[in-house]
Amino acid sequence: MLQKAIENFVKKFLNKIKDKKVYVVGHFDTDGITSTAIFSKTLTRLNQQFSIKIIKQLDKKEIELLPKDQIILFLDLGSGDLEELKSENPIFIIDHHEVSSKTIPENIEIINPHLLDKYEELCAAELSYLTSKTISENNKNLAYLSIIGMIGDTMEKKINKTRNQIINDADVKIKKGLLIYPSTRPIDKTLEFSSHPFIPGITGNPQGIYELLKEIEMEKIGKTYKALIDLNEKEMKKLVTAVLLRTHSKEKTSNYIGNLYLIKLFNKIEDAREISAMINACSRMGYSHVALMFCMGNDSARKKSKRIYVKYRQHIIAGLKYIDKNSKIQGREYVIINAKGNIKDTIIGTLASILSFSSVYKEGTIIIAMAYNEDKIKISSRIAGRNPDSNRNLKKLMDSVTNVIGGNSGGHKMAAGCTIEKEHENKFIELVQKKLEFELVKV
């Protein structure tokens, strides 16, 4: 079903772009950036003229700026704005977010798993890769980019039939291990900047790390510790146990053990999780162009991205410490973290995600995180534990609030967000509290 839809999409896309320029609009997260990199290479191999724009969100202003004389290709966005995109202009969308309209405007062709009879969870980068591969088998060497995008959208634990095929296409090595990154660096450095999971007393705490490694009798090789991928089974078990004790987690050990994806990049074996985090960091710090060039294989961009990533991790650690030390609004199975201007709006969603994967809040707790962005407020919501069977729907929650006070909303059942005017700050908190205290947000 999916392949047929892609083949139909490709046929129409290739027909429309003849003698036309393509205007590619990609989302600024890892999934969107890797999707854009896949299509940048694909269009280049077709000798197709194209330009690129990376954006945070597709709002009314961005839609008004779309060129009228080019073929528009949206990657990792657009599904929530079908009515607003209705025009005479041919538009193609590759996305995996929930679709806003039951009817697809005539000018729009879309690949989205939500529109298929049999839903299969895939991220935009995976869909972009499958589309690229359908255009030409020569594009199979782009599969590794879709693996990075898939990890960026935290889908690596759900290996369905199509995802398994993509993994087989990609030149990646897989090893079982503790799900912290980078697995290719000394374990003490990996623990220091661990945010998935956030480890109390360890993340950002060199002394705590020293005590943990001493406790499990982890020895150095020369002046440095082993990397995670070099640990033997006994060492790995000791490390996992020590980490679980510090997270006070009641989750199964298997939730902390999974596939470590190792890819070859710039002639070096890298942890795909770290590459995904670096791409995300560049965009969150305002350097989406560096992230894209990094994915395209530019060595100068690789060096810049490493420097940006160091600063980004410092922001993350500082943000987590700020949240830990400052007051929050807590209610029945929810917490509202209003960071105001103390945390960058571009990383507030990342912090909400980190907390949702940590043991700080019990499973099922709705985490609402807010940060100022000039005259607006960026809001991100997550469900602690990320249980897909939760009877709460964050996308509907965000939509219901913005329908009352205005703003733009989007996302999924488990992870959604919105942007509102700063003047509605108190009203937003009031409405969210009311809905979460007295209503069950149903699927």
Least confident interval from 12-26, 58-72, 177-191, 290-304: 177-191
Residue 405 has pLDDT above 90, yes or no: yes
Residue 322 has pLDDT above 50, yes or no: yes
Identify the CATH number of the domain in which residue 416 sits: 3.10.310.40
User: Which residues lie closer than 8 Å to 89 by C-beta, 6 or more apart?
Assistant: 66, 68, 70, 72, 107
Together in a domain, 143 and 247? no
Predicted confidence at residue 214, as pLDDT, reads 93
Q: Which amino acid is at 400?
A: S
pLDDT tens-place string over residues 185-201: 899 988 987 876 778 78
Residue 169 within any structural domain of the chain: no
Q: Give the span between the Cα atoms of 416 and 364, in whole angstroms.
A: 15
Give the domain-ending residue among 275, 300, 320. Answer: 320
C-alpha distances in Å from residue 412, one per residue of 16, 57, 242, 365: 31, 15, 34, 16
Average pLDDT, the chain: 90
Full residue range of the structural domain in which residue 340 is found: 327-438
Q: Give the span between the Cα atoms of 140 and 22, in whole angstroms.
A: 22
Together in a domain, 211 and 90? no
Residue 424 has pLDDT above 90, yes or no: yes
Residue 30 within any structural domain of the chain: yes
Together in a domain, 336 and 266? no
Residue 318 has pLDDT above 50, yes or no: yes
Residue 165 within any structural domain of the chain: no
Give the domain-ending residue among 270, 304, 320. Answer: 320
Q: Give the span between the Cα atoms of 105 and 82, in whole angstroms.
A: 7
Q: Give the span between the Cα atoms of 201 and 432, in whole angstroms.
A: 32
Together in a domain, 333 and 284? no
Together in a domain, 20 and 151? yes
Together in a domain, 92 and 199? no
Q: Give the span between the Cα atoms of 216 and 342, in whole angstroms.
A: 37
If pLDDT is split at 50, 70 and 90, which confidence band does 38 have? very high
Together in a domain, 207 and 137? no
- Give the CA angle between residues 47, 143, 118 to the nearest 5°: 105
Residue 168 within any structural domain of the chain: no
Together in a domain, 189 and 247? yes
Residue 247 has pLDDT above 80, yes or no: no
Predicted confidence at residue 171, as pLDDT, reads 82
pLDDT tens-place string over residues 426-441: 999 999 999 888 754 4
Q: Give the span between the Cα atoms of 22 and 291, in whole angstroms.
A: 21
Together in a domain, 271 and 340? no
Any idea which residue has 């291990």 for tokens?
177
Residue 39 within any structural domain of the chain: yes
Domain count, the chain: 3
Question: How do 71-75 and 415-421 pair as beta strands?
Answer: unpaired
If pLDDT is split at 50, 70 and 90, which confidence band does 118 have? confident
Predicted confidence at residue 252, as pLDDT, reads 56
Predicted confidence at residue 50, as pLDDT, reads 97
Together in a domain, 268 and 391? no
Any idea which residue has 């162009």 for tokens?
289
Residue 247 within any structural domain of the chain: yes
Q: Give the span between the Cα atoms of 1 and 434, in whole angstroms.
A: 42
**Two tokens, residue 49:** 């003229």
Give the domain-ending residue among 160, 187, 214. Answer: 160
φ, ψ at 244 (rounded to 5°): -60, -40
Residue 151 within any structural domain of the chain: yes
If pLDDT is split at 50, 70 and 90, which confidence band does 253 have? low
Identify the CATH number of the domain in which residue 120 sits: 3.90.1640.30
Residue 12 within any structural domain of the chain: yes
Together in a domain, 304 and 380? no
Residue 422 has pLDDT above 90, yes or no: yes
**Two tokens, residue 67:** 């060129």
For 263-316, the DSSP string reads EEETTEEEEHHHHHHHHHHHHHTT-HHHHHHHHTT-HHHHHHHHHHHHHHHHHH
Residue 443 has pLDDT above 60, yes or no: no
Q: Give the span between the Cα atoms of 212 and 218, in whole angstroms.
A: 9
Torsion of CA 165, 171, 172, 173, to 10 degrees: 110
Q: Give the span between the Cα atoms of 249 and 235, in whole angstroms.
A: 20
Reduced to 3 DSSP states, what percent helix, strand and coil does the chain have, rounded to the nearest 5?
A: 45, 20, 35
* Percent of residues, the chain, with pLDDT higher than 70: 95
pLDDT tens-place string over residues 139-184: 999 999 999 999 988 888 788 899 999 999 998 888 888 888 888 8
Maximum Cα interatomic distance, the chain, rounded to a whole number of Å:
67
Together in a domain, 22 and 155? yes
Predicted confidence at residue 352, as pLDDT, reads 93
Predicted confidence at residue 425, as pLDDT, reads 96
**Two tokens, residue 417:** 């967000």
